[in-house]
Amino acid sequence: MKQKKIYVCTECDQQSPKWLGKCPSCGSWNTFVEETFEEVSPSAKKENTHRSMLVRNDEDSAPQKLSWDELPEYIRSNTGISEFDRVLGGGLVEGSAVLLSGEPGIGKSTLLLQICAALSKTKTVLYVTGEESAAQLSMRAKRLGVQGERIYVLTETNAQKVISKAEKLMPDIIIVDSIQTMYHVESASIPGSVTQIRECASIFINKAKTDGTSVILVGHVNKEGTIAGPKILEHMVDTVLYFEGERRQNFRIIRAMKNRFGSTNEIGVFEMTDMGLSEVRNPSEMLLADRPQKTSGNCAVCVIEGTRPIIAEIQALCTPTVYPAPRRMSTGIDFNRLALILAVLEKRLGLRYSSNDVYLNVIGGIRIDETASDIGVAMALISSMRDIAISDDLLCFGELGLSGECRAVMRAEDRIKESARLGFRKIVVPYRALTQSTKIPDGVEIITAKSIFDILPLLRKKETKDD
């Protein structure tokens, strides 16, 4: 076979015969790497199953009528960690390929070792590691209290050898930690390169699709936050999970970015402890634990993450700037969203944010993408600017429009219920969010807001300085 050199973009898999500084397909810079591969003859190309691997190839598949009968029943196994089962859509599906990715040190190996314990009660699990020695893994397992007759460890980086060993052991689940350490001897590229990752992943996914083994691949994330390696990896697997969180804080969140067997809205929340990852069934309580009291710039909000309402605390700090251009910093909330809210407040309320540095933070290191936090962010910003504390039992939710109007968000009743459960007694909601049938818990005062002007009275000195 003839060897050929090409250049491949590590972000989007775009190929080019020569090196390019900027990828014409995805626009990223300096992402092209050299790859050597063997030119495949046209007849062999036909058998190349990379792209057809997503669906099992039956010999004589014919077009069928779309039918609701004979719906497939996914066989799922419980991993013993319900927060993880939740993001998977109700457990690990037999014959599925899952990609678990995250930054180094976030806790991927810890989580996978922990799920081995519960899975091994009914299944045989093979943990393939290319990163740690078997002794290191055993030490960690001991620390985490993970043991089981049916957990096997294999330190191997040759993907084909892994498969041939798995063929003898016949495990129900194979965990590959990590896909970047695996290599394929027939591929001429170096381990960790785009071609190698793709080749190795396809071997494991093929295994899942042919004999129903569930495969969990660990993927590293590069500094831009995307999975290091080809984007095609995300297309090849059934489920892509992202493990995120601030490494210095204990809070960890798993999000499904793609799931062929369930919703992608769910999140799983964990806390990293001395005994590994522990589930957080009630994230709001944890997020509100160290809440500052009676200080300006803080406002509680209620956002829906997956199916659950979660209460978070927004903190804003505005200080007169000493720089020619004021500083803006946002952690946990989209930077552009902050810019938009600041622009609305400056224009509609005449507050001079343009001569102030603004720092915004969501306590606990979580990230909020829902626009329902807008009004809370606006309240925190006004509160800090005027140095007036918001009452501690007040919470807001709702979207802010460019004219300063408060827009309705879905599931108002659930949000109110959760807020009341956690002790909030005054809840600011958009005017149109409530219907006549919306149930309001006893002792809760609902303040409806049509626009940003309606929330200003809540930020007057005489009302908040009641102590």
Contact status: 274 vs ligand TYD (CB under 6 A):
yes
Contact status: 278 vs ligand TYD (CB under 6 A):
no
136 CB-near residues (< 8 Å, 6+ apart): none
Specify the length of the chain in residues.
Answer: 467
Q: How many residues bind ligand TYD (CB under 6 A)?
A: 15
DSSP characters over 84-132: HHHHHTSSEETT-EEEEEE-TTSSHHHHHHHHHHHHTTTS-EEEEESSS
Q: Which of residues 14, 31, 79, 109 is near ligand TYD by CB under 6 A?
A: 109
6, amino acid identity:
I
- Angle at the Cα of 42 (from 39 to 44), degrees rounded to 5? 80
Of ligand TYD, Mg ion, none, which one does residue 225 interact with (CB within 5 to 8 Å by kind)? none
Q: What are phi and psi of 237, to 5 degrees?
A: -85, 165
Contact status: 248 vs ligand TYD (CB under 6 A):
no
CA 455 – CA 381 distance, rounded (Å): 12
Contact status: 276 vs ligand TYD (CB under 6 A):
yes
The candidate with the shortest Cα–Cα distance to 254, out of 428, 74, 115, 64, is 115
Residue 195: CB minimum distance to ligand TYD, A: 24
Residue range at the interface with ligand TYD (CB under 6 A); choices 3-11, 99-107, 164-172, 260-268: 99-107
Q: Which of residues 272, 311, 375, 409 is near ligand TYD by CB under 6 A?
A: 272
CA distances from 305 to 57, 122, 265, 309, 463 (A): 37, 32, 7, 6, 32
Q: Residue 372 carries which DSSP code? A: G
CA 110 – CA 124 distance, rounded (Å): 18
Of ligand TYD, Mg ion, none, which one does residue 106 interact with (CB within 5 to 8 Å by kind)? ligand TYD
Contact status: 464 vs ligand TYD (CB under 6 A):
no
Residue 138: CB minimum distance to ligand TYD, A: 12
Q: Which of residues 24, 27, 105, 457 is near ligand TYD by CB under 6 A?
A: 105
Pairing of strands 276-279, 173-177: unpaired
Of ligand TYD, Mg ion, none, which one does residue 145 interact with (CB within 5 to 8 Å by kind)? none
Residue 249: CB minimum distance to ligand TYD, A: 12
Contact status: 180 vs ligand TYD (CB under 6 A):
no
Residue range at the interface with ligand TYD (CB under 6 A); choices 228-236, 255-263, 271-279, 286-294: 271-279
Q: Which of residues 75, 275, 289, 410 is near ligand TYD by CB under 6 A?
A: 275
Residue range at the interface with ligand TYD (CB under 6 A); choices 59-67, 105-113, 336-344, 418-426: 105-113
Contact status: 106 vs ligand TYD (CB under 6 A):
yes
SS3 403: coil
Residue 140: CB minimum distance to Mg ion, A: 10
Residue 273: CB minimum distance to ligand TYD, A: 6
Contact status: 108 vs ligand TYD (CB under 6 A):
yes
The token pair that represents 111 in the structure block? 């989580």
CA distances from 102 to 108, 226, 346, 429 (A): 7, 9, 38, 36
Contact status: 59 vs ligand TYD (CB under 6 A):
no
Residue with the CB atom nearest Mg ion in the bound state: 109
**Do 145 and 116 contact (CB within 8 A), yes or no?**
no
Instruction: Give me the residues that bind ligand TYD (CB under 6 A), please.
Output: 102, 104-110, 140, 143-144, 272, 274-276
